[in-house]
Structure 1
Amino acid sequence: MEYRKLGNSDLKVSAVCMGCMGFGDPHKGQHSWTLDEKQSREIIHRGLELGVNFFDTAIAYQSGTSEQYLGRALRDFAKRDEVVVATKFLPRTAEEIERGISAQQHIERMLNKSLENLGMDHVDLYIYHMWDYQSPLYDIMEGLNNMVKSGKTRYIGISNCFAFQLAQANALAEKYGFAKFVSVQGHYNLIFREEEREMAKLCAQDNIAMTPYSALAGGRLSKRPNETSKRLVEDSYAKLKYDATAAQDHVIIGRVMELADKHGVSMTEISLAWLLAKVTAPIVGTTKVSHIEQAVRAVDLKLSEEEMTYLEECYVPHALVGVMAQNTQSAANEKHVWSTGDQTI
């Protein structure tokens, strides 16, 4: 396993991050394809054996049961100071806003609940899961800074945002002496490369770690035409993200398959080898032991410049989908509030 520094933090993380969205009680969330605790533990244990020390979950994953499964497994199989645990929180609900719960109160409540689920006294990385258009940015950044100062998280990260929002947030943090975001978790893989327009450039300039999700496009970059899986069949959100561009993506997927045959490896290894050359640590969702084994093998696979170009040259621009599509209009209408007063930019 290769280990890399996570942006401007002192965290050393495995080049492969185990994504835990596939872990959790299938009866307690929006996904029917998630694994029970016994199956989840087997994969987590195998990942640790292979040198994976970076794990990503969220309080929203199957009503917190993903956090619970991960926490219990790490307690049994690893030493706390030898793993890097990241979890995420969602914006305030309409009910919380109506009740007058502030962004700072919400952040602390969410982190406290995540720590309870995980059975830990702190996380290493606390991630702002998606932009809160109902709260002043100052309130969010102050709330996160309070969690760093309290010792409940070592660092903060962000997910599902635009480059200008990340730049704005870290500029505010710089101005007020708050903790800055050290990582960004966006949608980025071989068939969805819109992060290269601005986000990748900002991260390179400011040494912000990219830890993208959907590294294998919901399984599309790991499956041959005659192969399927429960997730490919049942994951309606992944279908929303990729079905509309299936024809143009098929050409690239075909090239992944071609290079996999050439190297005698899996399609997963080719797809991740490409992404590993671009980012700090892709988040790889796993629902089988073989998934994490293939992901780890990808770390040692180095593609030539010609092969990288061969995989990239057929790409055409994609429309934003999912959370980021929803964010587009919200961002256009947003007043970029820095403080709790009337000051805006």
Structure 2
Amino acid sequence: MDYVRLGTTGLKVSKICLGMMSYGDPGWRDWVLSEADSLPFIESAAEAGITFFDTADMYSLGVSEEVTGRLLKEVFSRREEYVVATKVRFPLGEGPNDGGLSRGHIMDAVDASLRRLDLDHIDLYQIHRFDPETPIEETMQALDDLVRAGKVRYLGASSMAAWQFAKAQHVAVMNGWTPFVTMQNHYNLLYREEEREMLPQCADMGVGVLPWSPLARGVLARPPADTSTTRSRSDQFTPHLFGSDEEAAILDEVGRVAEAHGVSRAQVALAWLLHQPTVTAPIVGATKLAHLEDAVAAADLVLEEQELEALGAPYQPRPTLGHE
């Protein structure tokens, strides 16, 4: 496993980040694994050299953070050996102040996340989308206070409009506050609208890119019309996000390249992402050990320039997704 700097910071992370959304409370989503069933994935990830783990307070309504904290302590011998990222914004309760990016909610949420993770600091604390109801100055000052208090080491953002991200960064810099060092956005072979503004902006600012849904909710990992997985059968959003004629051509090309290399479709789709100059580490979910093995292997898969061009050629612009 290769290790890369997180944006332009001095912190190094593995080129593959293991998404912890799949581990927590099976009652929250049909495809989520229990803590006992999750342990082999953390063990395998550590053995493969993965040191970067991403969760959120809203995954399994907090249980994912609890499981993440316990399993990482069980698998790694020292805190310095792994990097933990989590997120804040989505509500975990019914009250009017149980969500959002107000100072009050951020301060409450970070302490709750630290308790669930059983850690004294979070390596990368990310806002889980933009909050249009809270002044960005309030959000950025609160996040800066967390860094100054030692509760958080670095700050990250996730899917939003490029102008919103630029505004947040400007507010931080103008006030001497801590800016974001990462952008966790929706980016894969089937969704490339981030290439218009967000990715060039991240490159200009030295911001690391951590794509979520790198396999397009699994669509890129299987032949068209294959709905054999638990998530593909139960995911109500996939039919609304994917399925155009252009996507079918991309999937065909993924299959062709995979066959030429003798590897899985997932490896090809992840390798394409890792060849993109702005990408630091895609966030990969795994509910079968083969998923994790594919992700690790993708980090070593070299695609020729003509293959990269062929994979990208069928793409057609589409409406923006994933900012909500």
Category of TM-score, reference length = shorter chain: over 0.9
- Matched AA of 1:254: D
Superposition map of 1:80-229 within 5 A: 80-90=79-89, 95-97=95-97, 103-225=102-224, 226=226, 228-229=228-229
- Matched AA of 2:183: V
CA distance in 2: counterparts of 1:271 and 1:228, whole angstroms: 19
CA distance in 2: counterparts of 1:111 and 1:134, whole angstroms: 20
Q: Deviations over 1:220-264 (max 9, x none)?
A: 11112446211111122333322xx34321110111011111000
Q: Which residue of 1 aligns with 2:50?
A: 52
Q: Deviations over 1:164-222 (max 9, x none)?
A: 11111111111111000000011000010000000110011111000010000111111
Matched, 1:23 2:23: yes
Q: Which of these residues, 35, 40, 43, is aligned with residue 41 of structure 2?
A: 43
CA distance in 2: counterparts of 1:259 and 1:320, whole angstroms: 27
CA distance in 2: counterparts of 1:91 and 1:253, whole angstroms: 33
Residue 267 to residue 236, structure 1, CA distance change in 2 (3 Å)? same
- Matched AA of 1:314: P
Q: Deviations over 1:285-339 (max 9, x none)?
A: 1111111111011111111110000000000012123x42x4xxxxxxxxxxxxx
CA distance in 1: counterparts of 2:146 and 2:19, whole angstroms: 23
Q: Secondary structure at the match of 1:126?
A: strand
Q: Secondary structure at the match of 1:39?
A: helix
- Alpha-carbon contact 2:3-2:15 (below 8 Å) kept: yes
- Listed as ranges, the gaps of 5+ residues in structure 2 are none
- Aligned CA RMSD, in angstroms, stands at 1.8
CA distance in 2: counterparts of 1:102 and 1:274, whole angstroms: 34
Q: Secondary structure at the match of 1:166?
A: helix
CA distance in 2: counterparts of 1:274 and 1:180, whole angstroms: 29
- Alpha-carbon contact 2:88-2:101 (below 8 Å) kept: no
- CA drift of 1:69 comes to 1.0
Matched, 1:72 2:37: no
Q: Which residue of 2 aligns with 1:256?
A: 254
Q: Which residue of 2 aligns with 1:304?
A: 304
- CA drift of 1:91 comes to 5.3
Q: Secondary structure at the match of 1:218?
A: coil
Q: Which residue of 2 aligns with 1:240?
A: 240
- Alpha-carbon contact 2:101-2:131 (below 8 Å) kept: no
Residue 94 to residue 172, structure 1, CA distance change in 2 (3 Å)? farther
- Alpha-carbon contact 1:33-1:235 (below 8 Å) kept: no
Q: Deviations over 1:54-92 (max 9, x none)?
A: 000000101111111111110011121111100001157
**Number of aligned positions between the proteins:** 319
Q: Which residue of 2 aligns with 1:4?
A: 4
- Alpha-carbon contact 1:67-1:114 (below 8 Å) kept: yes
After TM superposition, the score normalised by the length of structure 1 is 0.89
- CA drift of 1:102 comes to 8.3
- Alpha-carbon contact 1:87-1:126 (below 8 Å) kept: yes
